[in-house]
A and B are shown apart, each in its own frame.
Chain A
Amino acid sequence: MAAEHVQTVIYHLAFHGVNLDVTKPVIVMWVVSAMVFLFLTVANFFSGVRRVERFLFDFIHDAFGSSLHTKKTIWFSFLVTLFLFIFLCNLSGLVPFSESPTSGISVTAAMAVVVFLVSQLVGVYCHGFRHLKVLVPSGIPVIMLPFIIPLELISQLARPFSLAIRLFANMFAGHSVMLIFLGLITSATFPLLKLLPFAGVVLLSMFEIFVAFIQAFIFTYLASFYISDAAHGAH
């Protein structure tokens, strides 16, 4: 499993016994963060970049704006950054000598926990103590409450889990299927037969670009749904 496989450590770092080793995905993440930051700041100075940014903002606004009716501007920047970061992290798996950070469970789990905390804090900010009413669906008889509340609690806590596993499994599965096809190239004995898995790898790489986009889209879509649900759902 990718989560357990040993990474080559580039620089050893530990903080009070917490392992903070610098590995290849960590460096890829730094590069991706710098690219997102540069893209969003440089766009103020070049009209060509601004046009691309404008297009992207319109796309994200059309896709997620409907679920964020109020307090749009605050959460819009969060969603744009999340989308760009995940999309570039997914795409970096297709660059030679690079490794996708999102094909490790720790990165996706961290992002899912951030989304969970943000959605809960938005709920508390908007409704205060009444945010706990999320656990009690309206129109439920009192006698059912001891059964319903644990169920709702589990469904709330399962959200970050499913977010993390979905992104991780998609990236990890794509990479391992590509690895199997690459193994078929070397194991083919007849030279002309090597063309078949090679064509498979080319097609899979194209499919991976599509998957990278759609998984970033889904992660951001669900994040916007959770935030808007905490802000004005079930109250």
Chain B
Amino acid sequence: MNAIGAGISIALAALGVSFSLAIVYFKTLDSITRQPDLLGSFRVLMFIGFAFIEAIALYALVVSFSIINS
């Protein structure tokens, strides 16, 4: 039962995070095609956004590990 709960928690978080990462990447590509000169700053901002969004999936990973061990 614990394993099922842990799996559901990380799966839902991964679903949401993958959609958010797709939105960020899509919008960055869109911005680069509009303003190719600002590629460098777009790249930095994109990676910062990636790290923030990724952290949410990792919260869920920690929670699922603690569910398994509980």
Q: Which residues in A have some Cβ–Cβ distance to B below 8 Å?
A: 1, 4, 165-166, 168-170, 172-173, 176, 214-215, 217-218, 221
Contacts and interface: CB of A to CB of B under 8 A. Distances in A.
A169 B69 contact: no
Interface in B48-68: 48, 51-52, 54-55, 58-59, 61-62, 65-66
A66 to B, nearest CB: 12
Interface residues of chain B: helix, strand, loop or mixed (majority):
helix
A163 to B, nearest CB: 10
Given A1-B62, A173-B61, A166 B47 contact: no
B69 A4 contact: yes
Contacts of A169: 55, 58-59, 61-62
Given A1-B65, A170-B51, A170-B58, 20 more contacts: A1-B62, A1-B66, A1-B69, A4-B69, A165-B55, A165-B62, A169-B55, A169-B58, A169-B59, A170-B55, A172-B62, A173-B62, A176-B61, A214-B47, A214-B48, A214-B51, A217-B48, A218-B48, A218-B51, A221-B48
A170 B62 CA distance: 9
Nearest to A172: B62
B40 to A, nearest CB: 12
Interface in B15-70: 47-48, 51-52, 54-55, 58-59, 61-62, 65-66, 69
Nearest to B63: A169
Contact of A170 (B47, B48, B54, B65): B54
> How big is chain B's contact interface, by range?
10 to 19
A167 to B, nearest CB: 9
A4 B62 CA distance: 12
Contacts of B62: 1, 165, 168-169, 172-173
Contacts of B59: 165, 169
Contact of B52 (A165, A176, A218): A218
A14 B5 CA distance: 39
Given A214-B47, A218-B48, A221-B48, A166 B65 contact: no
B68 to A, nearest CB: 9
Contacts of B58: 166, 169-170, 172-173
